[in-house]
Amino acid sequence: MKKILITGISSFIGYHLAKYFSGLSYEVTGTVSKKLREYEQRSIQAKRLNNLKEVNIFKLDMRDNQSLKNTIQDVKPDYCIHHAGYTQNYGSFEYDIDQAFEINVRPLYALYKELTDVGCKGVIITGTNAEYSDCDLANMENDNCMPTTPYGLSKLNETLSAYQLSKFFNLPTRISRVYIPFGAMDSPNKLFPYLINLLKQNRTVDLSPGLQKRDFIYIKELVRIYFSLLLDLETGNFEIFNACSGAPIRLKDFICLICEKLGKETKLLDFNARQMRPREPRISYGNTNKLSTMLNYQFNYSLENAIEDYLNEEK
């Protein structure tokens, strides 16, 4: 059985990656940033970790090189998905760029060195659409990136560092530039879980006009993309792939679709209650041609089917 190390499994995406790969023919080891007993019992992180019965869970501080070395030496993974990162205030200029460097960038050298020493076949690193410049056109993997947020700058720095280290250590690497994932076990404070909870109670939801177009990707689709990236590591080299649907939709329309699938009246949606965030991009979406042509990837879920599946899991 092949071994895979996944960092950051208490997060929404990290949890689903661990769940997905443990259901395949992989022995999964996941890392978290603190001891299991330190997670609040009723928190969403604790719920996620309690669901990962088939996963070996290690505490790992990415800033501690010795701890990182010990973990990799103990696991000796065939593959690594490096998903852990610093995301606090990721949408704000209050994002701590110095802390981000210490967590997102500085540990990469030790990570690549230790993975190479144990014979790891390749690594996937979670990137973000925030690495791209604001643009009305579909983002392409070879675009010149000029991120407009500190978080985007931090993650672009991580991508560039991974590129250098991939070449230096000859360790195949894939960057998964993730857009906006949705699905079960997301934080209850996020928009869609919050929306669904209120609609189920027939309560009015205060919203902004929702005119911005975004690229939403169902979490079950997203983990399949990661699997395709993992298989592609066998071809070697360093590559960046957009992990998205490639089909932007107005946030307002997406919300109305959720409302419809729940059988609720749209009068519960107050799109004039809040203002849009200042300087928010009008549109953001990715081009999926590279995903389709190089990996022969075929999407499983239409947007409507994804929402229906998501709502069924939330029952």
Q: Quick check: pTM over 0.85?
A: yes
- Provide the β-strand partners of residue 4: 28, 79
Segment 232-261, tens digit of pLDDT: 999 999 999 999 999 999 999 999 999 999
- Terminal CA-CA length for the chain: 34
Segment 140-194, tens digit of pLDDT: 999 999 999 999 999 999 999 999 999 999 999 999 999 999 999 999 999 999 9
Tokens read off for 210: 């929702």
Please tell me the number of Cα atoms within 13 Å of 220 on its side-chain side.
Answer: 15
- Name all domains of the chain by residue range, CATH numbers in brackets: 2-180+216-243 (3.40.50.720), 187-214+247-285+302-313 (3.90.25.10)
Radius of gyration of the chain (CA): 19
Question: Mean per-residue pLDDT for 115-136?
Answer: 97
Segment 72-112, tens digit of pLDDT: 999 999 999 999 999 998 888 899 999 999 999 999 999 99
